[in-house]
Amino acid sequence: MPRFAIRVAYDGTDFHGWQRQEPPGGEPLRTVQGVLDRALTEVLQTRVGCQGASRTDSGVHAEGQVAAFTADCRIPVDRIPAALNARLEEDVRIMAAWGVPDDFDPVGDALAKGYRYEIAPAPPFTARLPFDRRMVFRTAHGLDAGRMRRAAAALVGTHDFSAFAHAQHGRESPVRTVFSCEVSTLLDDRVTIDVSGSGFLYNMVRIIAGTLVEAGRGRIEPASVPDILASRDRSRAGPTLPAQGLRLRWIHYAEDRAEPRTTEKGPE
C-alpha cells in the first residue's frame, strides 16, 4: 500500500498541540493530528491515521510540519492538499503532498529541524499590533541583540542540554546537537531566534529563547552559558517562554524522502 507525506502549516493557538488526545470518559481534545486524521478518513473513505515529525506543544505554530500516512489513495498526489483543505478549518492548511518510500518514518528519518522564536522587545511606544498576540512574544524589556548572539554561539555543538529542558523530557539521553543558533533583528521592533538541530528535548527551544532573552536584558552573562550547560542544572538557565512565539519552520530529509523541489523555467 502506498505511503505519502504532507507538509502542514497551522496556527497552534486553538489546538492542544499536535498529538491526538482522547481523555478517558471525555470528549477528544482538539489537536492537529486529530483534525488531520478526521479529514483523511473523510477524503479516503477509510480510517487513516497520520504520524507527525514533531509533537509540537499546545499553542506552538508550524509552517513546515511533516506528517505521513499509508493508504490506498486514488486521488492524484498533487490534489491531496486541496481535498484535505476543503475539509479543514482555516487554522490548519496542507501546503504540499508527495509520495515517499514504504518505510518512511517522519521522526526517525529527519536529518535536521529548524525552529524560530519571535520576540517584540519594548519599543519606544506602547501600542501592540492586534495580530501579534498569537504569533509573537512581547516583553516589556529592551534587548541587547549583541549579548544574545554571544550567548547563542555557545549553544552550538553537541552538548548535554539537561539545563535547557523540562525535567520530565522523557528521552533516554539529554545529549543533542545544535547546528546553528542565530539572533537577528527585524526593523526596530522584532528579534528572532533561529535554532536548527538534529532534534530537541521537551521545551528546549523555549528555554533557549528564555535564556537568550535574559542575556539580552543583562541578567545572564553570555560567557556563563558554557558553565550553565556543564552544570546540567535547569534552575541556572532562563525561563520557559510562552508558546505563541515559537513555530516549527522546516524539517530536512534525505533527497529520496524530501518534498520534491519545484523549478520554474524562465522564458526560452
Please give the full DSSP string across 53-122, using - where no structure is assigned: S--PPTT-EEEEEEEEEE----S-GGGHHHHHHTTS-TTEEEEEEEEE-TT--TTTT--EEEEEEEEE--
Query: Rounded to the nearest 10 degrees, how much is the dihedral formed by the CA atoms of 116, 121, 127, 129?
Result: 0
Q: Which of 242, 241, 214, 243 is nearest to 228 (CA)?
A: 214
Q: Is this model's pTM higher than 0.85 or not?
A: yes
- Burial (CB count within 10 angstroms: exposed 0-12, middle 13-18, buried 19+), residue 268: exposed
Domains, the chain, in order of start with CATH, read 3-109 (3.30.70.580), 112-251 (3.30.70.660)
Q: Which one-letter amino acid corresponds to residue 88?
A: L
Q: Which of 120, 87, 108, 10 is nearest to 56 (CA)?
A: 10
> In sequence order, what are the residues at sequence separation of 6 or more whose Cβ sits closer than 8 angstroms to the Cβ of residue 127?
none
Q: With a cut of 50, list the residues of the chain below it in pLDDT.
A: 263-268
Rounded CA-CA distance 241/141 in Å is 14
* Long-range contacts, 158-162 (Cβ 8 Å, 24+): 159/229, 160/229, 160/232, 161/201, 161/204, 161/229, 162/232, 162/233, 162/234
What is the reported pLDDT for 268? 45
Catalytic residue list: 57
> Quick one: DSSP state of residue 220?
S
Q: What is the pLDDT of residues 81-107, one digit of tens each?
A: 999 999 999 999 999 999 999 999 999
* Stated length of the chain: 268
What is the reported pLDDT for 130? 76
What is the reported pLDDT for 267? 47
What is the reported pLDDT for 26? 87
